[in-house]
Amino acid sequence: MIKSFTLSILRGTEGNQFVEEFELELTPLMNIITALMEIQKRPINKKGELSTPVVWEQACLEEVCGSCSMLVNGIPRQSCTAMIQPLLEQSGTDTIHLAPFNCYPLIRDLVVDRSRIFDDLKKLKSYSEVDGSRSRDFGPRILPKTQEVMYELSTCMSCGCCLVACPNYTKTTNFVGAALVGQTRLFNLHPNGQSNKEERLHTLMGKGGLHECSKAQNCVQVCPKKIDLVEAIAEMGHQTTRQSIKEFFGSNAPEE
C-alpha cells in the first residue's frame, strides 16, 4: 500500500522557473487540489526547507468552471478530478508531476493568463444577440436532435485542455483551436445566433481559422467533457466551404 507520494511542481515566473518537490501523506479520495491545499497549510519541501505556498487557480471543484487546468504528468486536465491514487497506479511511481499550461503567458507557478481564449471567443462572436430577451413569449423552437448537439457543445468550460494538446496552438501561432470552433458551431445553430453566422464563418476562413488545423485529433482525446470536437471541426469545415462557394457564385449557389 502506498502511504506517501511526491508532488513535483514546476514553479516560478516567466524565465525563472524551477522544480520543487513536496512529500505528502496519501489519504483516501485525495486529489491534486487537496494535495496543493496540504502544501498551502505546511509549505515544507522534500528537503525539509520552508518554502512558499504553491499558486494555482480553483473555483467550483466539480469540473464545471475549468479554472484549475494544468499539466498533470504531462497531460492537460482538470486537477479537481485528478485523483492521486489512480495517478500513482497508472504511472507506476510514487511521484506526480505538475506544470502550468505552456502555450499561455505564465503568471506564477501553475497560474497562466488565458485571456487569448476569451479574446478569440469575442472575435468569433460566440454569443447570441439579446434582442427580444424581455419577451414573455416562448423562445424559438429547436428540434430535439439539434438540442442534443447544442447541449454537448454548451458544456465546454473554455478550460483550454484541448488547446494545449493541439500541435497547431502555440504562443507563436494564431490558430483559434478546437474549443473555439465548437463554440462557433454552437452559436451558428442557435436561432438567435444565426444572425451573425456569416461573420463567424468569415472569421474562421481568415487568419488563425480552420485551415490551420492539421486534424491531429488530440483535442477530442483530452476534453474533460468528452465533446466530439473532431465532428465540430468537420461540420464547420463544411459550413465555411459552402460559404466560400456561395460568395464565389453569388445568388446561384445551392442552398443547404
Residue finishing a domain among 94, 111, 128: 111
Distance CA 229, CA 177 (A): 10
Query: Domain span at residue 141?
Result: 114-252
Report the C-alpha gap between 188 and 108 in whole angstroms: 37
Instruction: Please say which residue of 92, 111, 130 terminates a domain.
Output: 111
Q: What is the pLDDT of residues 165-216, one digit of tens each?
A: 999 999 999 999 999 999 999 999 998 888 899 999 999 999 999 999 999 9
pLDDT by 10s per residue, the chain, length 256 = 679 999 999 999 999 999 999 999 999 999 999 999 999 999 999 999 999 999 999 999 999 999 999 999 999 999 999 999 999 999 999 999 999 999 999 999 999 999 999 999 999 999 887 665 566 777 788 999 999 999 999 999 999 999 999 999 999 999 999 999 999 999 999 988 888 999 999 999 999 999 999 999 999 999 999 999 999 999 999 999 999 998 888 755 555 5
User: From CA 82, how far away is CA 78, in angstroms rounded?
Assistant: 7
CA dist., res. 122 & res. 199, Å (int): 12
Write the CATH number for 147: 1.10.1060.10
Statement to judge: residues 138 and 219 lie in one domain: yes
* 156 in the same domain as 106: no
Residues 136, 98 share a domain: no
* Residue that terminates a domain, selected from 111, 145, 169: 111
